[in-house]
Amino acid sequence: MEKMYSPWREVYMESFKDESHPFHPAKDIFTDIPPEQDEERYVLHRAKKSFIIMNLFPYNCGHLMVIPFKQTPELSDLDDTTKLEIMQLTDIGIDALRRTIHPHGFNFGVNVGRVAGGSVDSHIHFHIVPRWEGDTNFMPVVGETKVLSNDMRRLYNELRKAIKEIVQEKAGK
């Protein structure tokens, strides 16, 4: 398989060497983000019970996650207010992606448990993956290489601005 350099994955790979690293599976990488590190850690928006963050290891450009502040592996452990807020933040995230990078569609879902594909199976989180017609092209199919064409920092700034506008619009309704 051909390899394409993705410098943002280096942090993930290094996490397996040092158990004190913030991305080590023994430490909750989602609840240990202080608000003053939001920009550094790509947190886009915080609500009362959950937040939106960019995925540092995206499947596609603009891959977001909606994460409850409560650490639990199970959807059934979340109260109804948190579940509703997660859906509201999902709606905001999708709207922000439509306004900024204009995907043709989305995958939205959750992996419950490691066997389902959950890389952080101790803290439930929801994925919003933007999709474009033809985004599965020859590179991943034949070349077994994924190309991500957006600069994460620039996209973060655009998404954060769009989310702020959307939240203000919804508050005005």
The residues annotated as belonging to the active site are 125
The end-to-end CA distance of the chain, in Å, is: 51
Amino acid residing at 51? F
| Cβ–Cβ < 8 Å for 97, 128 | yes
Closest listed residue to residue 92, CA positions, set 23, 165, 8 = 165
Phi and psi, residue 94, nearest 5°: -65, -45
Cα–Cα distance measured from residue 157 to residue 39, given in angstroms and rounded to the nearest whole number: 9
| Burial (Cβ within 10 Å: 0-12, 13-18, ≥19) of residue 162 | buried
